[in-house]
Amino acid sequence: MTLPREWVEKAEVFLRDAERHLEEGHYWLSCFDSQQAAELYLKALLVALTGLHPFTHDLVELLTSLRELGLEVPSELYTYADALTPHYTMSRYPGRKPLRYNKGLAERCLGYARSIIEWVKRQAPEIPGEETGS
């Protein structure tokens, strides 16, 4: 089975945007894009496995759902997910940020997202069943 194409296509757009926004110095937007790319990949894996996904932006919750389905989730991915999740909201609302967006933070967010995405891609070929959605 493969990951649902529409989910992956959208996630890849967010990933490319995260890279571009990092280069342009739009660090808050790179962090948001990174979170979204990781979220869409995690939800793609859940959809491939179950046909459903939780309605949440919490990446830790999504990883936990995958673990409950029997996947072995490396502990560092929980750390990355916990670091990325707040950027879904904090990055978009001026005045609510308890942190300052800078290049280092944006680079870390992008790295965390890439780690989560690479793990998802490694899981996809292991999904039993017929090819669908690609």
Q: Contact at 8 Å (CB) between 115 and 84?
A: no
List the structure tokens of 113: 């997202």
Q: Contact at 8 Å (CB) between 45 and 124?
A: yes
Could you read off the pLDDT tens digit of each residue along the chain, which spans 134 residues?
Answer: 689 999 999 999 999 999 999 999 999 999 999 999 999 999 999 999 999 898 999 999 999 999 999 999 999 999 999 999 999 887 767 766 667 899 999 999 999 999 999 999 999 876 554 344 43
Q: Contact at 8 Å (CB) between 75 and 83?
A: no
The pTM for the full model equals 0.90
Query: Quick one: fold of 5-126?
Result: Four Helix Bundle (Hemerythrin (Met), subunit A) (1.20.120)
Domain boundaries, the chain: 5-126
